[in-house]
Amino acid sequence: MQRQTDHPRARVVIDSSVYQIYPASFKDSNGDGIGDLKGILSQVDYIQKLPVDIVWLNTIFKSPQIDMGYDISDYYSIHETIGTIDDVDALIQGLHYRGMKLVLDLLVNTTSQTVGEIFVAYPPTIADNVKTPWFVNAASSPSSRYADFYISKKPRYHENGQRHPPNNWASYFGGSAWEYDEPPGRYYSHLFRKRQPDLNCENPRVREELYRIIAFWLDRGADGYRMDVINFISKHPDFPDAPYNKAASKWQNRSEYYLHGRRLHEYWHDIGMIMKEYDRFSVGEMPEVKDQNEILKRVGFDREELNMIFTLELILISWVSVDIDHVPGGKFTRANWTLGDMNRICSKWQTFMYENDGWNRLYLENHDQPRSISRFALSSPEHRVLSAKMLATFLGFQSGTVFVYQGDELGMRNVPWDWTIEKYRDIETLNHWKEIPGTQTSLTEADLEEYALKARDNRRTPMTWDTLPNAGFSTSDPWIPVHEDFHTLNAAMQCRDPESAYHYVSRVLSLRKEFKDIIVIGSFALVYLRHPEVSAYVRRSEDPNDLVVCNFDPRPVQWTVPEDVSDLLREGRVVCSNFSPSCDGLRAGHRLSVAAVQRLISV
């Protein structure tokens, strides 16, 4: 099969690598303890040398910061601690000068709703002195032009006259997904925090405003968007009650009522047409959707919607990182997963996208997930570098576009196990902690262990640049503590060491370009699905092919060479490995010793 690598929508992503930056935690330039745009610009050369082609910034727009910037109050201004529009322009110029692109984070499902904050619905270049507060006006009067900019419904009343929300949907952050607002005496929808009301995208004027925002930053030189929970923008028009599947709560999760609504393709196609007009890049986050055909509808080259999707099951391994050990008891409930689970989901999407001309987004972690080295490998000092290299191999030799989260290239790990709740900053973790009965000491200890494994703050500790105070991130105390291991794990040390994780990740990204026909667009097949410690797969093209073998175990393992890949070991050359296997004379049935958390790539 020949994939459509010459398709116009494929050109921008076909062999690109993306570096994700969480601005507040990357580099502080002014000593306030919070990372900013000027700090990012100061490290552009470091990013370029990896090498990567695209830089993606988490949200930078003006916000009251109830949910770390994902509650936006003004899409045309930059949050004051992060920088200014001039700083964005300078960053765009600096990246373009080096042949790189900038992708911005965009949230179009919700906005901010906070006292003293307004949502500004105008480009300042059009109306410099006029401010249009959407939510304030929407709540002020049923006759307001903005009254239907948000999803609002009348209350329901029980026989005793008690007021209730329009339905029993649950919020992702706990409690009801509805909040009563008086005036106007109606409930507004918020799938996330109470101060994040859901926009009513059924209203064409809302969509017009959102499309204007998209065009505004593209006109300034941005090269595309990552769109947060973009599949939530079309909801069931009747807002029906969800069936009761959580007996202990009157608020129920029934996400099929808003995961892929009846008008979702229409809205996405409109966005796709804007991106096509500008010839820019788009990736959408699409949580909770695992159906392959639903995903393909969004990313097929002929759909003209989005370039690729974050699905959060495994559009490579991140789907595992969200679902594989999240169980019905909730995210912070202990569960087990196996390497077989990872291999199965990986193979499912690699094969499906190849056979159906779709495209995978490859990542092991992001700003909402813990550090992959702590989650899937071994983060102890003796294994950390090997683990970082092994995971880079497992991810980097699969088909799709690779996303590297800041610090992945160094092997940064989760927060220390002895962190107390006072050190955490994320609203999700703090809300969960408040719900724990104060007398259950054993429960709180267990939850602290789960936070150190899964909490979003694991990903948000400051980048460790060098051995200076605060790891060179800031000259003052950071907004969240720096990991205490920065004296032995930092960018300066690894850039000087040719055997470091940083240089290995750079090698993997370079090999993706050198062997594009195999690694980026070739076919994929697992070699042995059920091996308890080894993940092995073959990538094939017309010529040549490659074999990837990764041992996730802390001990050396014996791997039996299957018949259909023995030629790759016997006749190929090892292009990337951190041990020196002897492949001479190997035949089917022979056993290859793979060292602890190590990997072999033969081409």
The closest of 394, 345, 387, 386 to 539, measured between CA atoms, is: 394
Nearest-angstrom CA–CA distance, 336 and 17: 31
Inter-residue contact 233 to 110 (CB < 8 Å): no
Per DSSP bridges, beta strands 281-285 and 224-228 are: parallel
Q: Which of 53, 67, 285, 428 is catalytic?
A: 285
Nearest-angstrom CA–CA distance, 406 and 538: 28
Q: Which of 117, 179, 228, 325 is catalytic?
A: 228
Cβ burial, residue 13 (10 Å; 0-12/13-18/19+): buried
Nearest-angstrom CA–CA distance, 556 and 242: 50
Unique residue bearing structure tokens 């990567």: 52
Per DSSP bridges, beta strands 178-181 and 186-189 are: antiparallel
Residue 58 CA, distance from chain mean position: 9
285 is catalytic: yes
228 is catalytic: yes
- Token pair of 31, please? 């000593």
Helices (H), 409-527: 427-434, 441-454, 491-496, 501-514, 516-519
Nearest-angstrom CA–CA distance, 429 and 431: 5
Per DSSP bridges, beta strands 523-526 and 534-540 are: antiparallel
Nearest-angstrom CA–CA distance, 592 and 589: 10
Q: Which residues are known catalytic residues?
A: 228, 285
